[in-house]
């Protein structure tokens, strides 16, 4: 059996990487920090023209009809550049939720707009408390008291909250359920919420892989240029060990993330277990990358001017996004202690 990605998937990843590295530079990220929205309509349209906004939109609604497994490598590249646009939320969480909810009117109205880049649709789950990018969404898909609602932007009240990462825009969202469209409640809502949680955690895990790699690359570049005693500090054994410890753990973290994407795409019973494993190991390696990278940067690593901060703070912010380490370790423990029984999407703990 071949467990590798296809040539088409790898070529798509390469083309997306080339685009993002050129268009989402640290300089442009810092410029967006100074704007009111922190987002770029021009960049969103470029992402749409590449087909990225429509990856999980069914072909019947103008999308590419692809799966989570097709997108996981692209989410990794999104993490590598610390993209702030709500691409991962839209592709991995909001769009599949619209597809699965069974509301044909909502799907017919919004899915073509998502695919074309005409509209941004963002999902918000109660496990996160705050909704990222609610301010730029045309439609919000929100969990409230065990039910799922579709809320048009004009019908929501937003209250901005600070984040450790200036690139994330977080909001407390209030809305009147009576004025919103009820998508699902009861068991149907539980299934939608659990699937959205798994996809959200997968998106975070994949981005953490990219963040860790970017911090390695920044640190290797810095230690190759910074000199002490007439030689580059990257030649010092202690510095090499810091980078090597991240690199090998990053390689070991990739397989659980890719397996989780496969399990979700194929609707396997063990998807929740795979996602929790992936979330834990990917966040751990991103944390290690932040810790070791700031060490090898020395005092410079603590200054805002160093680009490392962009990626380090995104990694910190992701620690509690779509479930803390404790939440996901409990899910893994529940599976192990249940005599290896696989976790279903609707499992509770």
CATH code, domain carrying 265: 1.20.140.10
Predicted pLDDT at 238: 58
In a domain, 4, yes or no: no
The C-alpha angle 209, 289, 71, rounded to 5 degrees, equals 10
Tokens of 332: 């893994």
Do residues 102 and 121 touch, judged by C-beta distance below 8 A? Answer: no
Report residue 230's pLDDT band, with 50, 70 and 90 as the boundaries.
low
Q: Going edge to edge, which strands form the sheet with 156-161?
A: 131-132, 170-175, 156-161
> In this predicted structure, which of 19-28, 33-42, 169-178, 291-300 has the lowest mean pLDDT?
291-300
In a domain, 104, yes or no: no
Give the CA-trace dihedral at 252, 270, 321, 303, to 10 degrees.
0
- How many CB atoms lie under 10 A from the CB of residue 3? 8
Predicted pLDDT at 349: 36
Predicted pLDDT at 237: 59
Number of structural domains (the chain) is 1
In a domain, 92, yes or no: no
Report residue 278's pLDDT band, with 50, 70 and 90 as the boundaries.
very high
Q: How far is CA 343 from the centre of its chain?
A: 22
Averaged over 23-38, what is the pLDDT? 95
In a domain, 14, yes or no: no
Predicted pLDDT at 240: 63
Report residue 332's pLDDT band, with 50, 70 and 90 as the boundaries.
very high
**DSSP single-letter state for residue 235:** G
CA atoms within a 13 Å half-sphere pointing along the CA-CB vector of 169: 20
In a domain, 231, yes or no: yes
Q: Is the pLDDT of residue 293 over 50?
A: yes
Task: Tell me the whole-structure pTM to 2 decimals.
Answer: 0.92
**DSSP single-letter state for residue 134:** G
In a domain, 80, yes or no: no
How far is Cα 311 from Cα 295, in angstroms, rounded to an integer? 15
The boundaries of the domain holding residue 264 are 191-337
In a domain, 218, yes or no: yes
CA atoms within a 13 Å half-sphere pointing along the CA-CB vector of 326: 0
CA atoms within a 13 Å half-sphere pointing along the CA-CB vector of 197: 30
Predicted pLDDT at 346: 45
Predicted pLDDT at 94: 98
132 three-class SS = strand
More confident residue, 78 or 219: 78
Counted residue by residue, the chain has a size of 349
How far is Cα 234 from Cα 232, in angstroms, rounded to an integer? 5
Residue recorded with tokens 């109660």: 126
In a domain, 54, yes or no: no
Do residues 112 and 62 touch, judged by C-beta distance below 8 A? Answer: yes
Helix (H) or strand (E) holding 76: helix 68-81
Strands 139-144 and 121-124: what pairing? parallel
Averaged over 277-302, what is the pLDDT? 90
Predicted pLDDT at 4: 87
How far is Cα 104 from Cα 107, in angstroms, rounded to an integer? 5
Give the CA-trace dihedral at 72, 74, 80, 83, to 10 degrees.
-110
């Amino acid at each position: 059996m071949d467990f590798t990605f296809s040539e088409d998937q790898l070529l798509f990843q390469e083309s997306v990487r080339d685009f993002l590295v050129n268009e989402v530079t640290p300089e442009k990220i810092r410029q967006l920090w100074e704007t009111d929205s922190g987002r770029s309509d021009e960049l969103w349209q470029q992402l749409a023209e590449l087909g990225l906004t429509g990856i999980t939109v069914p072909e019947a609604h103008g999308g590419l009809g692809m799966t989570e497994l097709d997108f996981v490598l692209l989410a990794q590249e999104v993490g590598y550049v610390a993209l702030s646009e709500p691409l991962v939320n839209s592709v991995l969480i909001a769009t599949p939720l619209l597809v699965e909810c069974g509301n044909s009117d909502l799907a017919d109205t919004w899915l073509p707009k998502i695919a074309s880049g005409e509209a941004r649709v963002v999902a918000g789950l109660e496990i996160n408390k705050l909704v990222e990018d609610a301010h730029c969404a045309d439609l919000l898909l929100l969990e409230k008291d065990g039910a799922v609602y579709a809320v048009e932007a004009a019908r929501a009240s937003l209250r901005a909250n600070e984040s450790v990462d200036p690139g994330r825009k977080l909001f407390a969202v209030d809305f009147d359920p009576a004025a919103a469209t009820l998508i699902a409640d009861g068991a149907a809502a539980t299934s939608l919420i659990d699937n959205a949680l798994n996809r959200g955690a997968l998106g975070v895990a994949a981005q953490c892989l990219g963040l860790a790699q970017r911090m390695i690359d920044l640190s290797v570049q810095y230690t190759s240029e910074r000199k002490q005693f007439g030689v580059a500090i990257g030649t010092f054994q202690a510095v090499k060990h810091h980078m090597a410890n991240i690199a090998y753990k990053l390689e070991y973290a990739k397989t659980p993330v890719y397996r989780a994407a496969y399990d979700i795409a194929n609707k396997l019973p063990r998807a929740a277990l795979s996602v929790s494993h992936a979330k834990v190991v990917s966040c751990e390696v991103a944390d290690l990358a932040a810790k070791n990278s700031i060490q090898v940067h020395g005092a410079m690593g603590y200054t805002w001017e160093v680009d490392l901060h962009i990626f380090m703070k995104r990694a910190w912010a992701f620690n509690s996004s779509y479930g803390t380490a404790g939440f996901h370790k409990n899910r893994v423990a529940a599976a192990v202690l249940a005599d290896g029984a696989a976790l279903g999407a609707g499992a509770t703990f």
